[in-house]
Amino acid sequence: MTMTKEKPLISVCIPAFNRPEFMSDLLESIVSQNYCNFEILISEDNSPKSFEVEEVVNSYINEYTNIKITFTRNSETMGYDGNFRHLIDISNGQYCVFMGDDDLLCEGALLKIAKVIDEFNPGVILRSWARANRETKTVEEIFRYFDGDRLFKAGKDGIVTMYRRSVAIAGYTVKRDLAKKYSTERFDGTLLYQLYLTGMILSENDGYYISNLVAIMRKDSNQSPTHFFGTAKAERDRFKPGELKESQSLIFIDGMIEIANYLEDELKIPNLNKGIIKDMANYSYPLLSVQSRKPFWSFFRYYISLNKKGFWKNIYFHIYYLALAILGVNYCTKVILWIKNYLNYTPTLGKISRGKKIDKE
């Protein structure tokens, strides 16, 4: 691999917090890429194990002297959104590719992203990603939104399609100058800063979806919450580390709706929020399943709360709830996985834009 340029095309940005045990796997997946025009930035958010994270990173800095790897430690804990924005500020690349600190980059991922940048110059790039067992790294579910690469023209339709699909951070890619242009602290604490960026940037620049796997997010086998959200001041009134209570799920969904409402007002796009909420309801199974193991009345109360947020108009939302309440999350998830594996992509529900299909050689 040749020396990375001073102003690389890509900055691989890693917002890190308290997970030194996974950093080596992530960095190994990045330094082994068959692409060289990139830098790696790790911003550790002042966690108790920040020096342990730094030690892992330094071992890679010393070994891979031909790759620009930068470690920074925040003097105060910024939280997810603030640290995300900080990485954009300190990056040198034309594009920022984000990775969670326990994620993995797939083989050839950066080259795929670079080719899309060179040909289409999009403002936002989404990708297929997989969920894998945290320890074994065995892939358990693939999230492939469409049956091929897609180009989404700037405007309402592209925003509606790419908004909810921007939640997962692994491999999320954004054009740096546009991200800088729309920088704001307004939504700190929502854990959803990338959704805001997606909406604002796609109002003026095209978006692109890569159908091949780009990144892997690792989860515990039972998908129990292991996060540290709620540590930063901006997050404390909304979340608590290691918890995912009914109220916290609702706060997260409120954040998605709050940003959607802001985008409609700021961009002056009529019914943008309705389109986004409709798409959220069409694919509300994960929003429901995350609370479906709770006692019946607790889950029912959560279901009613989502009804009041505008989901009641959607037939899929009610089907998901009844299936989870009657059949249970394990059986329902197996059925959904079978459908996705059979089709090799997630079925399109509702009248969202599918963009322009791009034929690849």
Q: Give the tokens for residue 330.
A: 């394990």
Q: Cα 197 from chain centroid?
A: 12
Together in a domain, 207 and 125: yes
Kindly tell me if the per-residue pLDDT of 4 is higher than 50: no
Number of domains in the chain: 2
Q: What is the pLDDT of residue 3?
A: 46
307 close to 272: Cβ distance less than 8 angstroms: no
Together in a domain, 32 and 118: yes
Kindly tell me if the per-residue pLDDT of 339 is higher than 90: yes
Together in a domain, 150 and 261: no
204 close to 124: Cβ distance less than 8 angstroms: no
Q: Which of 98-107, 182-191, 219-228, 245-254 has the lowest mean pLDDT?
A: 219-228
**Number of residues in the chain:** 361
Distance (Å, whole) CA 320 – CA 306:
12
Together in a domain, 157 and 206: yes
Distance (Å, whole) CA 241 – CA 164:
23
In sequence order, what E strands does the chain have?
10-16, 38-44, 68-73, 95-98, 104-105, 124-133, 139-143, 150-152, 173-175, 207-219, 356-357
Mean pLDDT of 81-101: 97
173 close to 98: Cβ distance less than 8 angstroms: yes
Which is it for strands 95-98 and 139-143: parallel, antiparallel or unpaired?
unpaired
**Residue 140: domain span:** 10-219
Q: Specify if 235 maps to a domain.
A: no
Together in a domain, 291 and 197: no
Together in a domain, 43 and 174: yes
Q: Give the tokens for residue 165.
A: 């699909």
Q: Specify if 62 maps to a domain.
A: yes
Q: Specify if 5 maps to a domain.
A: no
Distance (Å, whole) CA 6 – CA 9:
10
Together in a domain, 176 and 292: no
56 close to 82: Cβ distance less than 8 angstroms: no
Together in a domain, 147 and 24: yes
Q: Specify if 236 maps to a domain.
A: no
Q: Specify if 238 maps to a domain.
A: no
Together in a domain, 211 and 265: no
pLDDT in tens, 314-331: 999 999 999 999 999 999
Together in a domain, 213 and 271: no
Q: Give the tokens for residue 275.
A: 């389109």
pLDDT in tens, 94-131: 999 999 999 999 999 999 999 999 999 999 999 999 99
Q: Specify if 232 maps to a domain.
A: no
pTM, 2 dp: 0.95
Together in a domain, 202 and 145: yes
Q: Specify if 258 maps to a domain.
A: yes
Distance (Å, whole) CA 160 – CA 175:
19
Under the banding of pLDDT at 50, 70 and 90, the label for residue 359 is confident
Distance (Å, whole) CA 206 – CA 210:
14
Q: Specify if 45 maps to a domain.
A: yes
Together in a domain, 73 and 149: yes
Element of type H or E holding 336: helix 329-343
Q: Is 131 exposed, middle or buried (0-12, 13-18, 19+ CB in 10 A)?
A: middle
Q: Given 219, 237, 271, which residue is the final one in a domain?
A: 219
CATH code of the domain in which 47 resides: 3.90.550.10
Q: Given 163, 198, 219, which residue is the final one in a domain?
A: 219
